[in-house]
Structure 1
Amino acid sequence: MRIAVTGSHRVGKSTLIDLLGEELEGYRLAEEPYLLLEEEGYEFATPPSLEDFVEQLRFSAELLHAEKDARDILFDRCPVDFLGYLQAHEDAEAFDLEEWLPRVRSAVQTLDLIVFVPIDAPDRIRLRAREDIHMRTAVDEALCRVLLDDPYELGVEVLTVHGSADARVKQVLERLGRG
């Protein structure tokens, strides 16, 4: 299966992907677009600009299409993540969502499953004082709208996971018929 793990920052996506990689023998991990772009020499602003998120969106969509024939792969993030960040960004009005939706739909429809890791209540991740809690929450809310309210009609199954890292792994494995 082609699985993407999505969610705001500091919700446990990387931990979940690492644990799933241990459980799902033969699965390959596709690094998140931010890291891949950095390896290619892309320089991100601090904090990332609207243009930085658009570039990650573009790259993520291209990555899904480039890997469309690959099976048994775990993607750390997918284009939906960047829709969340773009909608939560302070310059969101400058982003043309309608222009990007066809590309996002086309890319995510190459996936078999999106695993959504929302912010749990109570929050399971301790945040550092300097982290932007408001941005994190706004991204989570935007992702809930995109993935769960489905006004965007993405056409891919979404599994929302909750609880401890082990509980999340178990939920994914059960969905895959391996639990």
Structure 2
Amino acid sequence: MRIAVTGTHRVGKSTLIEELEEQLAEYRVIDEPYHLLEEEGYEFASPPCLEDFLEQLRRSMELLEEEGSARNVLFDRCPLDFLGYLLTHEDSDSFDVEEWLARVRSTLQTLDLVVFVPIEERDRIRIPAHEDPRLRAEVDEKLAGILFDDPFELGMEVLSVHGSTSARVAQILEHLGRGECRR
């Protein structure tokens, strides 16, 4: 299967991917576009500007395309993440989602499952004081709307996970028909 883990920042996506990597040893992990772009020399603004999110969207689609028909892949983020950020960005009026939808749909069709990690009532990740909690909540809400209301008719299979990291892993393994976690 080709699985992407999506959600706003600091909800535990990368931690979940690390645990899944242990449980699904035959899977290869593809790091999130932000880290890959940084390694390639891309310099992000602080806070990220619209172009930064567009670049991450481009890179995310490239990753899905590059991996083509490869099976057993876990993606840390997918194009949906960046749609969420772009549509909630203060400069979102400059972003034409229609211009991107055909390619986004095409690349998302290569995924078998999108795992959504929402913000939970009791946050599991400590948020630094310099981060904007309003933006984080807006992106979470936008992603949930894209995934569950499907306004862009993406037709994705989505699994929303909750609880501790081990509970989230167990929910994914159960969804995959894998049963209990290995320890």
Cα deviation digits, residues 2-58 of structure 1 (max 9, x gap)? 000000000000110000000002111001001111111111111110001001101
CA distance in 1 between counterparts of 2:120 and 2:148 reads 15
**Aligned residue for 2:130?**
130
Please tell me whether the aligned partners of residues 8 and 140 of structure 2 are also in contact (alpha carbons under 8 angstroms): yes
CA distance in 1 between counterparts of 2:94 and 2:119 reads 27
CA distance in 1 between counterparts of 2:116 and 2:163 reads 12
2:161 equivalent to 1:161? yes
TM-superposed CA distance for 1:135, in Å, is 0.9
TM-superposed CA distance for 1:155, in Å, is 2.3
SS in 1 for 2:5: strand
Paired amino acid for 2:79 = P
Cα deviation digits, residues 39-82 of structure 1 (max 9, x gap)? 11111111110001001101101110110221111000000000
CA distance in 2 between counterparts of 1:126 and 1:63 reads 29
Point out where structure 2 has 5 or more consecutive residues left out of the alignment: none
CA distance in 2 between counterparts of 1:85 and 1:166 reads 27
Q: Aligned residue pairs: how many?
A: 179
Please tell me whether the aligned partners of residues 60 and 79 of structure 2 are also in contact (alpha carbons under 8 angstroms): yes
CA distance in 2 between counterparts of 1:104 and 1:155 reads 12
Cα deviation digits, residues 63-102 of structure 1 (max 9, x gap)? 1011022111100000000000001111011100111111
Matches within 5 A, 1:47-126: 47-126=47-126
TM-superposed CA distance for 1:172, in Å, is 0.3
Extract structure 1 runs of 4+ deviating beyond 3 A: none
Q: Please give the TM-score of this superposition, normalised by the length of structure 2.
A: 0.96
CA distance in 1 between counterparts of 2:154 and 2:66 reads 19
SS in 2 for 1:93: helix
Q: Please give the TM-score of this superposition, normalised by the length of structure 1.
A: 0.98
CA RMSD of aligned residues (A): 0.8
**Aligned residue for 1:18?**
18
SS in 2 for 1:100: helix
Matches within 5 A, 1:18-57: 18-57=18-57
SS in 1 for 2:177: coil
TM-superposed CA distance for 1:122, in Å, is 2.1
Paired amino acid for 2:119 = I
**Residue identity (%):** 68
Cα deviation digits, residues 96-155 of structure 1 (max 9, x gap)? 011111111111110000000010112222212111111111110110111111111112
SS in 2 for 1:47: coil
2:145 equivalent to 1:151? no
